[in-house]
Structure 1
Amino acid sequence: MSDAAAGNGASSARKAINPWLIAPMVALAAFMEVLDISIANVSLSNIAGSLGAGPEESTWVLTSYLVTNAIALPIAGWLSEYFGRTRFFIACIIGFSTASLACGLAPSLGMLIFFRAIQGLAGGALQPVSQAILADAFPPAQRSMAFAMYGIAVVAAPAIGPTLGGWITDQFSWHWIFLINVPVGALLIVLIRMYLPDEKPNHDGSPIDYIGFSLIAIGLGSLQWLLDRGQNEDWWDSLEIRVLTGVVIVALLTYIVRSFDQHNPIVNLRLYRYRNYAISNLLMFVLGFILLGSTALLPLFMESLLDYSALDAGLVISPGGFAIMAMMPVAGKLAGRVDLRLMIAFGLLCAGSSLWYMGNFNLQVDSTTLALVRVWQTLGIAFLFIPINTMAYIGLPASANNQAASMLAFMRNLGGGVGISVLVTLISRLGAHHQVPLVANTSPGDPEWEQHLARLQGVTGSHDQALALLNQTVQGQAQMLAYIDAFHFMGALFVLMIPLVLLLKPGQADPEAEPAPAH
């Protein structure tokens, strides 16, 4: 099928069906998939206890999903064109729902990990295919509001996932964090078959590049594994991590070199010759880095230093998710009236300043302050997601929408994976770094140290207990300084992205633009 025919087909679909019937369906599919990235986080101890596994083994419930999800994201665009986007979309929902049912009924940890891997593989396509459907269903002038609905799904889901998962586990059982996907998936299949037009495969009969598929699967799967396991294995001090790093470099570099000789590459890297698309991908990577990184870091801060429970920490950061949901429609309306570059700059400054302010936190910070600053941060993020997605399509041909959406979703998730790994490593390494001078200043013979030790000994009635409490205080202060550094780092990273906004080209997406050359 030619690009012109495909464009005419998409145009006919827009005229035949009200796109506002399509938008909530595809947004719900994306929400369901993104929610499963984080919903199991707080339930790992329950899962491990129920299935007779250790804490270290249970983390594979998360890792298996993330690895296969990372593989599926960038190739989803190519697969949706090869098999027909609507058919592929329905097949992914069926696969995701069936795997969710199997996860909920898994009799052992090994079976649960296996079905989680299938769940991540089937669900990985739901985000990019949902976005591509919206890009085709809505004319350029209305895409901002469509992306607002999609943004609520993929940005708010990680924020409320841990809280929802904790509540479901406490009120029912961990099985239901997976089983709830089954009725939602069944409903989506019925609605999609009713309202979403069927689309024929759009490919030129070229043979499938199995070598390219293998290189992407090996390279990205190893990359996600490396990011997830790096800190636990002490990064490059571990042979496992060094081997994985080599595999990632060889596999991905080989794919990049080969892709420019392919007529129909699985991931079309030539799209990066479009300036807006390239910059938007970088901004989306940074957005994922900080959004998912801070979403992981804040509960860790509250649980490890402020003695919050997992559920209480989730409740504190949940208002940020609701703030995003409330502000996305506002940002969507503004996107049609305000220069998108101004919105991106404002979002970067707002979110960056909130993170810099978090650098003022101390061990006495209260839950209200934590929640308000998180809301401040997410308000800025609401003004980033929509304009970045909208700007990415400016100048791109309509025939590139599927692959463009896949890479945008992949870059956001990759940024999140890198962000979590980097920030957790920073906390660990900087905590040890800050502890050295603190210990040096708290040595026997120092008058202030002796006075503090005497006060603690008077409270505890034991010299050893007083020493233990003093050591705990020093460690807590060192960790607090590490978190301050991490918050400052994230805030500065957002602000440093502002000059990039000046390089973006304003305008509307051009469905008649020439596609990137195949050779």
Structure 2
Amino acid sequence: MAIADASGGARPGTARATNPWLIAVVVAVAVFMEVLDTTIANVALRYISGGLAISSDEASWVVTTYLVSNAIALIASSFIAQRYGRKRFYLICLATFTIASVMCGLAWDLPSLLVFRMIQGFAGGGMVPVSQSILTDAFPPQKRGQAFAIFGVAVVVAPVIGPTLGGYLSDNFSWHWCFLINGPVGVFAFALVYFLVQESTDAKEKREEMRRKGIRFDLVGFALIATFLGALELVLDRGQVEDWFDSTFIIVATAICIIALVIAIPWLMTTKNPVIDISLLAKRQFLSCMIVMLAIGAILIATTQFVPQVLQENYGYTATWAGLALSPGGLVTMFMMFMVGQLTSIFQPKYLIAIGAGIIAFAMYDMTRLNPDLNFGFFVVSRLYLGLGLPLIFIPITAASYYGLRADQTDQASALINAARNTGGSIGVSVASNVLAHREQWHQSRLVEHVVPSDPNYFNTISNLQNFFVERGSSAIDAQNQAIGFIGWQIQEQASYLAYIDVFHVLAIISACAIPLALVLRKIDLKSGGGPAH
């Protein structure tokens, strides 16, 4: 790619000198659009469900399908970019993503929408790691923390802005515009990349060397990993609906998932050019960072879906206002990204990551205070805590995860870290959905146990309600039915609140588990700079 030093001067291996900060902005625009689509449809799921006449569970596939296909593509993207040219691959991905986005907006039923979302996810998965490689080439090590701060704004703030923008478009136009909006932005980003980013001579030489050596893509390894991730997502998404292992479908999907993983491990260990360098997972430093990224991806995506959902379902907010509850947290995240970019050159990443995980765990625990009397400000403040914690993880994990790796391992490491974030997000949404459904049923069963005529509290409540409705003109029989109906509604509402509280308890535990993982990371040389990350 076009490479320049920190002041804009050309460095060796450059096709054409371009100011690195301009490159960072161009890359951030394209990645912002791609990451935005992980959450822009979240608050529009009710509109999508109604528009396509599908259930809310089916509508949630619009989110998880994108995340899984995105994670699968991330695994293959680094090799394809090196083998066939970074710029060429990046432009193809950007163009495909833009076209698929428009087609999502024009989708006529659920299958067509999911197909276009998969294409969109595959294309988007190729953009992120290549973007990181561009930044790594463009900036010297001592400037990469600041460069990745700009990149981090796109990665972390985009999922937060997504619900606000998606809510506004859904309320004032239609859910289709959540996808159609990518059309003009994609064309603009394509033009910027085409004219400003150039292939470096180093990248060209490496591509020619790969051709001379006849290095081919590990199609078998890729197919096995794709099968594993796809089957895992099917199990998580459909488990609750299909009654888990009482379902033949879930049993078969689980078997396929396990078999694919069992075959993939020896294949990746023995094949000459594996799609995943499995030796990276044997490194304590890198594996710990991957697990932390899985957890944080789960928190980021799950909360971005379920906070707007509870605001719409239980508090009667519009999609726009549900999204706006997340926006202040996005502004805090944007500010913190640049601050943390400076802190990474002063403090060890392990401590920053641990502090960030602690703040996020507190934010999730704070959400367990959910009750019907909460106002808009509570959700804004809770999201501010999350906005403080996320940057303390996303930026430092860049330096921590790439410390000690060889130069030829950074591209694969970048793909794996990104795949971990998206896979974690997909798993987070699925786990939270299952916890919500199961615990809502459980709480409702427990609450119904107290709704019996022999219970004095129930008897007094039903009598008071009947009198209330009679005083407002209802007959005795209608008043009795209305009273029973009102109590039933109250039980469902209370069960819903309690189930959401359980979801946030689970997310708090997941966040807390990241703290000890962060503390076992090795100390790094702060002067060496970081490699590519999320």
TM-score (norm 2): 0.87
Residue 177 to residue 307, structure 1, CA distance change in 2 (3 Å) = closer
Aligned CA-pair RMSD = 2.7
* Deviation sequence 1:339-388 (CA, Å, 0-9, x none): 22221121111111121122222121111111111111221112111111
Residue 334 of structure 2 aligns to a residue whose secondary structure is helix
Cα distance in 1 for residues equivalent to 2:60 and 2:369: 32
- Correspondence 1:477 to 2:494: yes
Instruction: From 267, 272, 288, give the equivalent of 1:279.
Output: 288
Q: 1:505 aligns with which of 492, 509, 522?
A: 522
1:82 is aligned to 83
User: Which amino acid is the alignment partner of residue 404 of structure 1?
Assistant: A
- For 2:528 and 2:392, the matched residues in 1 are separated by 25
User: Which of the residues 422, 443, 457 maps onto 1:413?
Assistant: 422
Deviation sequence 1:63-100 (CA, Å, 0-9, x none): 55344323212221222222222221111112112222
Q: Specify the alignment match of 1:325 in structure 2.
A: 334
Please say which of residues 382-391 and 466-475 is displaced more in the overlay: 466-475
User: SS at the partner of 1:454?
Assistant: helix
Identify which range, 372-381 or 53-62, moves more after superposition. 53-62
1:115 is aligned to 2:120? no
Question: Does 1:457 find its partner at 2:487?
Answer: no
> What corresponds to 2:240 in structure 1?
231
Matched-pair contact (CA < 8 Å) for 2:73–2:125: yes
Q: Please tell me the residue identity of whatever aligns with 1:209.
A: D
Which aligned pairs between 1:349-364 and structure 2 lie closer than 5 A? 349-364=358-373
State the distance in 1 between where 2:346 and 2:325 align.
34
Specify the alignment match of 1:466 in structure 2.
483
Q: Cα distance, 1:105 vs. partner?
A: 4.2
Question: Residues 236-251 of structure 1: matches in 2 within 5 Å?
Answer: 236-251=245-260
After the TM superposition, which of the residue ranges 19-28 and 405-414 deviates more from structure 2? Answer: 19-28
Name the amino acid aligned to 2:428: G
Q: Which residue identity lines up with residue 478 of structure 1 in the other structure?
A: A
One-letter amino acid of the counterpart of residue 499, structure 1 = P
Q: 1:99 and 2:100 equivalent?
A: yes
Residue pair 2:25, 2:150 contacting (<8 A) in 1 also: yes
Bigger Cα displacement from structure 2, 35-44 vs 499-508: 35-44
Give a deviation string over 1:127-146, Cα, whole Å, max 9, x none.
Answer: 22222322333333222222
Structure 1 residue runs of 4 or more that deviate by more than 6 Å after TM superposition = 509-513
Q: Is the 8 A contact 1:30 1:130 kept in 2?
A: yes
Q: Does 1:292 align with 2:313?
A: no
In structure 2, the partner of 1:335 is 344
Q: Is residue 397 of structure 1 aligned with residue 406 of structure 2?
A: yes
Residue identity matched to 1:500: L
CA–CA separation in structure 2 for the residues paired with 1:139 and 1:161: 32
After TM superposition, the structure 1 stretch with the greater mean CA deviation from structure 2, 121-130 or 300-309, is: 300-309
> Map of 1:433-452 to 2, 5 A cutoff?
433-452=442-461
Equivalence for 2:4? none
Q: Bigger CA drift: 106-115 or 157-166? A: 106-115
Q: CA deviation at 1:463?
A: 1.4
Shifted more, 432-441 versus 462-471: the winner is 432-441
Q: Across the two proteins, how many residue pairs are aligned to each other?
A: 504
2:505 alignment counterpart: 488
TM-aligned CA deviation for residue 305 of structure 1 = 2.4
Match of 1:155 in 2: 156
Distance in 1, matches of 2:123 and 2:68, equals 12
Q: Which amino acid aligns with 1:179?
A: L
Amino acid at match of 1:398: A
Deviation per CA, 1:471-517: give whole Å up to 9, x if none. 2222322332222232223223322322222221222489899xxxx
8 A contact 1:73–1:409 mirrored in 2: yes
Higher mean alpha-carbon deviation, 404-413 vs 496-505, is at 496-505
Contact 1:397–1:511 at 8 Å: present in 2 too?
no
Q: Which amino acid aligns with 1:490?
A: L
Structure 1 length-normalised TM: 0.89
How many angstroms does 1:37 deviate by? 2.3
Assess if the C-alpha contact under 8 Å between 2:24 and 2:147 holds in 1.
yes
- How many angstroms apart in 2 are the aligned matches of 1:192 and 1:370? 38
CA shift in 2, pair 1:508/1:139, >3 Å? farther
CA shift, 1:250, in A, is 1.1
